[in-house]
């Protein structure tokens, strides 16, 4: 819901672009019921040969072991809201486009293995380094551009507070009792606050 406050999003909506809020949340590291997929084999290979190092806040190459590519096949793309596999398309932030991203919406208890078959391979630091270098220009990973939305998403992810406005909005959209949601949030260690703990820059 914070996404709606960004001027890029307002501009996109005013110009009749479809903003996929859930896909954007997924791509900026917030929890959703979506799985990221890509149509670009080079991007697939990058993620299959790297792991995220949270201490360094960057992707590092796998030195050895077994890698796995998951190949989706026989998927028909229809432009329907209820379709589980769909294209994200042009968005007001860069990351989904840079990653040539699609999304798969997962239902509770659904087995992801039903969507793909595996291709296993032997990791090699030499060849993984060759895959690494084209994605890092001037020390920056080109798949993860510097954007204010990433900073805001990080604050949200690390916070144990939820705004009253977000809670009310969620309850309105889903037809759920606000007291029930607040009680559930409190049970999970979250608190509901009046004001958000971040501000957007000018």
Q: Do 150 and 167 fall within a single domain?
A: no
Q: What contacts 197, CB < 8 A, 6 or more positions away?
A: 155, 159, 161
pLDDT at 3: 81
Q: Do 118 and 186 fall within a single domain?
A: no
Q: Do 84 and 118 fall within a single domain?
A: yes
pLDDT at 78: 60
Q: Which residues span the domain enclosing 195? A: 159-202
**In the block, residue with structure tokens 């296993």:** 120
Question: How far apart are alpha carbons 14 and 16 in whole angstroms?
Answer: 6
Q: Do 81 and 179 fall within a single domain?
A: no
Give tens-digit pLDDT for 86-136.
Answer: 788 889 999 999 999 988 888 888 887 777 889 999 999 999 999 999 999
Q: Do 98 and 182 fall within a single domain?
A: no
Q: Do 13 and 83 fall within a single domain?
A: yes
Q: Do 121 and 186 fall within a single domain?
A: no
Q: Are 23 and 96 in contact, with CB atoms under 8 Å apart?
A: yes
pLDDT at 47: 96
Average pLDDT, the chain: 86
Residue 23 confidence (pLDDT) above 70: yes
The helix (run of H) or strand (run of E) holding residue 120 is: strand 116-122
Q: Do 72 and 166 fall within a single domain?
A: no
15 falls in which pLDDT band (50, 70, 90)? very high
6 falls in which pLDDT band (50, 70, 90)? confident
Q: Do 127 and 165 fall within a single domain?
A: no
Q: Is 9 exposed, middle or buried (0-12, 13-18, 19+ CB in 10 A)?
A: buried
Q: Compute CA distances 1 → 22, 70, 166, whole Å.
A: 10, 31, 7
pLDDT at 48: 96
pLDDT at 202: 57
Residue 148 confidence (pLDDT) above 90: no
What is the value of pTM for the model shown?
0.80
Q: Do 150 and 190 fall within a single domain?
A: no
Residue 21 confidence (pLDDT) above 70: yes
Q: Do 98 and 177 fall within a single domain?
A: no
């Amino acid at each position: 819901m914070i996404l709606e406050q960004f001027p890029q999003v307002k501009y996109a909506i005013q110009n009749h672009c479809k903003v996929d809020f859930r896909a954007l949340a997924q791509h900026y590291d917030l929890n959703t019921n979506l799985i990221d997929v890509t149509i670009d084999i080079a991007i697939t290979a990058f993620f299959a040969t790297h792991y995220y190092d949270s201490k360094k806040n960057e992707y590092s190459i796998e030195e050895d072991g077994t890698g796995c590519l998951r190949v989706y096949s026989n998927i028909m793309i229809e432009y329907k809201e209820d379709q589980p596999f769909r294209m994200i398309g042009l968005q007001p932030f860069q990351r989904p486009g840079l990653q040539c991203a699609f999304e798969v919406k997962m239902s509770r208890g659904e087995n992801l293995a039903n969507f793909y078959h595996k291709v296993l391979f032997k990791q090699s630091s030499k060849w993984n380094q060759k895959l690494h270098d084209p994605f890092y220009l001037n020390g920056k990973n080109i798949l993860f551009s510097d954007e204010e939305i990433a900073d805001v998403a990080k604050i949200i992810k690390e916070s144990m507070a939820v705004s009253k406005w977000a809670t009310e909005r969620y309850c309105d959209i889903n037809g759920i009792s606000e007291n029930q949601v607040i009680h559930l949030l409190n049970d999970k260690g979250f608190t509901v606050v009046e004001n958000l703990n971040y501000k957007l820059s000018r």
